Structure 1
Amino acid sequence: MRGIRARNQWTLKQMSEKCGIPVSTLSKVEHDRLTLSYDKLQQVSERLDIRMSDLFAESESREGPVVTGRRSIGKIEDAVQVTTDNYDYHYLCTDLRHKRMIPIVTRIRARSAAEFGDLVKHHGEEFIYVIEGSIEVHTEFYDPTVLEQGQSIYLDSSMGHAYVAAKGCEEAVVLGVCSSSGEGLLDALMNLRSNAAGK
């Protein structure tokens, strides 16, 4: 947030007027004393006409890809949380820009394909590992399959898919890693989750 404000040479008051977030809140965010909710991040993104992923990075992007030396420690308490009817997403390592892999810890609450709704699809591939409970995986071209704790699946994300808690399981927790060779994967995922949340 501070970087965006500095690049535009805005005061805190000007930034507040443009994005609709109180000055005191912006100050706390800039000094790492407060984290904006997903709804507020979406509001800032829309009002400032910038990508959602640009709000997660701590420093300005560099020209060209960074070849070596990148790292980020993923802590669940620092994750960006997005809640939808079916899932609670925790996006990890959001301080790095232009990632080819998006790590997400997800709590799955939907208990049937009917409750979940339409299958989702996006570009790239994804890997899902079951940490707690068991899940039932629904895909566009395959019969549903159940994965128990410790099991995993790798699939083409452009194929319609959905993850629901398996029979007898109230909720499940999975680690997902979404990847793509193209740019903008995080934005695509956030827009997908946002649309799902709005249903």
Structure 2
Amino acid sequence: MNLDIGEKIKELRTKNNLTLNDLSSRTNLSIGYLSQLERGLTSVAIDTLDNIAKALGVTIYYFLSKPKNKKNFILRSYEREVLEVENNRIIQIQLTNDIEGKNLLPRIFEILPSSSDEEITSYPHIGEEFVYVLEGILTLLIDKERYELFPGDSAHYSSNREHNWTNNTNRIVKILTVHTPNLFKK
């Protein structure tokens, strides 16, 4: 996902004849950060991506894969679709048919194992998050503290706190999440 977003940012920036310095001035983000973002070397918080989108004259939806919207409030298990695959390690599965106009964004994430010595970047953004561990052991980072969550454990926190999560085991971790705001709400 980071590389896809970065490529889209670079494509729009060059299409608009903007340098990294120009975009930096418009967004108050460092040139180094923007360069890393364009190369897919760092992640971006939703509010930062929204800031970049406005500076480039598009909406945030330009950078996000929009889920299919069906006006049925029931989604059968066999109808679920993969919303996105991030870095070949995190699979997002859509849990609702009718995503537009809703405040909540429910998803299941399947997180493949990663090395415990990989650096995990925590970031804040607007909204709140609820995480429920279905399978495996999730490492949750909040305000530089690490928490191990086991099946049946949950966490509910304000997204404006520095946070992220990862899988430092050798087994798949599956979590149910509910986020606000719903990025796909119109």
Residues 99 and 184, structure 2, Cα contact 8 Å, conserved in 1 = no
Structure 2 residues not aligned, in runs of 5+: 1-57
Residues 132 and 173, structure 1, Cα contact 8 Å, conserved in 2 = yes
2:84 counterpart of 1:72? no
Cα offset for 1:71?
2.8
- Give the aligned residue type for 2:138: I
- Give the aligned residue type for 1:147: L
* Aligned partner of 2:150 among 138, 148, 151: 148
TM-score, normalising length from structure 1?
A: 0.52
1:186 aligned residue? 183
Residues 138 and 166, structure 2, Cα contact 8 Å, conserved in 1 = yes
Name whichever of 78-87 and 122-131 sits farther off.
Answer: 78-87
The sequence identity of aligned pairs, in percent, is 22
Determine helix, strand or coil for the equivalent of 2:166.
Answer: strand
Distance in 2, matches of 1:186 and 1:175, equals: 17
Pair 1:76–1:160, CA change in 2 (3 A): farther
**Over the residues paired in the alignment, what is the CA RMSD in angstroms?**
2.9
The CA deviation string for residues 45-95 of structure 1, in whole angstroms up to 9 with x for no partner, is: xxxx78457662236xxxxxxxxxx83325364224300124111122143
- Give the aligned residue type for 1:134: I
Residues 132 and 153, structure 2, Cα contact 8 Å, conserved in 1 = yes
2:150 counterpart of 1:138? no
2:100 aligned residue? 97
1:36 aligned residue? none
1:194 aligned residue? none
Distance in 2, matches of 1:107 and 1:54, equals: 19
Choose 1 or 2 for highest CA Rg: 1
**1:118-129 paired onto structure 2 within 5 Å:** 118-129=121-132
Cα offset for 1:133?
0.8
TM-score, normalising length from structure 2?
A: 0.55
1:39 aligned residue? none
